[in-house]
C-alpha cells in the first residue's frame, strides 16, 4: 500500500513532513510519494518555479526512508488534476494496489470542487489529516457523502484498492507555506518551521524575498 501526497510545496515544511511520517508509520505504508503540482487549478500560482519546488521536496525527503518524490505532474503541461495523476499511477501500479491519497482537512473540504472528484474517491482511499484551523471545514453535504465511506481503522484500507475515507489525528503543526513566505518577505527567519536543507536552498536562490 502506498501514499500519494500532492501539494504546491511552495515551500515544503514540517506541517507536511511530520504528519506524512506519522501516516507512513501508522498505516505501514511502503512509501509516500510527494507529488509537486505543476499549475494550480484551485489557487494562486506558486511563487517558486517548478524546478525550485521539486528541488526543495527532493532536499526535504532525501534522508527519510519511505519518502520519495514523484515529478509526474511537472512533466505534464497544463493544470494539475488529481484525477489525471491517479489515473497515470493506476496505469503504472495496476488496479489492485491500495493507494492512499493524503490531504489536509482544509484541502479535503474542497473535494466536491475537484475535477471528477467522485471517481478520484473510487480510485484511491482518502487519508485526511486534521489541520489546525480547519476543524469545521467540511460542509453538511460532504459529511453526508463521507459517512458511509468512513474506514473504522487503518487496516481496512489494505483490503481494497480504494473507496474509503480515513480521518486521522496527526501532530497539529500550525505551519503554512504562506506564513513562511510572508516571514521571508519581511526579512524574518522561518527557521525551525522547515528542514535546514530546504531553508539553505531558499537562501541560495534568494526565494520569497520582497
Ligand atoms: P499555502 O500556505 O501556500 O496555501 P500550504 O502550507 O497549505 O500552502 P500546500 O502545499 O498547499 O501547503 O499543501 C499541500 C497539502 O498539505 C494540502 O492537502 C494541505 O491541506 C496539507 N497541509 C499543508 N500544511 C499542513 C499542516 N500544517 N498540517 C496538515 N496538513 C497540511
Distances in Å between the alpha carbon of 134 and those of 3, 23, 52?
Answer: 22, 19, 28
- Tell me the C-alpha to C-alpha distance, in Å, between residue 14 and each of 112, 148, 174: 27, 32, 10
Cα end-to-end span (Å), the chain:
42
Residue from 69, 61, 67 nearest 23 by CA: 67
Q: Is residue 125 classed as helix, strand or coil in its secondary structure? A: strand
CB 124 within 8 A of CB 100: yes
At residue 62, the pLDDT reads: 97
pLDDT tens-digit readout, 167-201: 999 999 999 999 999 999 999 999 999 999 999 99
Sequence ranges of the domains in the chain: 2-175
Enumerate residues lining ligand 1, CB below 6 A: 7-10, 15-16, 19, 103-104, 106-107, 129, 131, 173, 175-178
35 alpha carbon – ligand 1 mean position (Å): 13
d(CA 210, CA 93): 43
* DSSP H/E element including 166: strand 165-168
- Which pLDDT score is estimated for 133? 82
pLDDT of res. 159: 95
pLDDT for the residue 79: 78
Residues 62-76: tens digit of each pLDDT: 999 999 999 999 988
Mean pLDDT (the chain) is 94
Q: Estimate to the nearest angstrom the gap between the alpha carbon of 98 and the chain centroid.
A: 17
CATH fold of the domain at 2-175: Rossmann fold (3.40.50)
CA distance 203 to 180: 13
Distance CA 165, CA 133 (A): 20
What parts of the chain have a pLDDT lower than 50? none
Give kind and range of the element (H or E) at residue 126: strand 125-129
Atom of ligand 1 lying closest to residue 105 CA: 20
Amino acid at each position: 500500500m502506498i501514499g500519494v501526497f500532492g501539494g504546491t510545496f511552495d515551500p515544503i515544511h514540517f506541517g507536511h513532513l511530520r504528519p506524512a511520517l506519522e501516516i507512513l508509520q501508522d498505516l505501514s505504508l511502503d512509501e509516500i510519494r510527494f507529488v509537486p503540482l505543476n499549475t494550480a487549478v484551485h489557487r494562486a500560482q506558486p511563487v517558486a518555479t517548478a524546478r525550485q519546488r521539486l528541488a526543495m521536496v527532493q532536499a526535504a525527503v532525501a534522508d527519510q526512508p519511505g519518502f520519495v518524490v514523484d515529478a509526474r505532474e511537472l512533466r505534464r503541461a497544463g493544470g494539475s488534476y488529481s484525477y489525471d495523476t491517479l489515473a497515470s499511477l493506476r496505469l503504472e501500479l495496476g488496479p489492485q494496489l491500495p493507494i492512499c491519497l493524503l490531504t489536509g482537512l482544509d484541502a479535503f473540504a474542497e473535494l466536491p470542487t475537484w475535477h471528477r472528484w467522485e471517481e478520484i474517491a473510487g480510485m484511491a482511499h482518502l487519508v485526511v489529516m486534521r489541520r489546525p484551523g480547519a476543524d469545521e471545514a467540511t460542509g453538511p453535504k460532504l459529511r453526508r457523502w463521507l459517512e458511509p465511506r468512513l474506514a473504522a481503522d487503518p487496516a481496512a484500507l489494505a483490503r481494497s484498492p480504494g473507496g474509503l475515507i480515513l480521518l486521522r489525528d496527526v501532530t497539529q503543526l500550525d505551519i503554512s507555506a504562506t506564513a513562511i513566505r510572508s516571514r521571508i518577505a519581511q526579512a524574518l527567519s522561518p527557521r525551525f518551521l522547515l528542514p535546514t536543507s530546504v531553508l539553505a536552498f531558499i537562501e541560495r536562490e534568494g526565494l520569497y524575498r520582497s
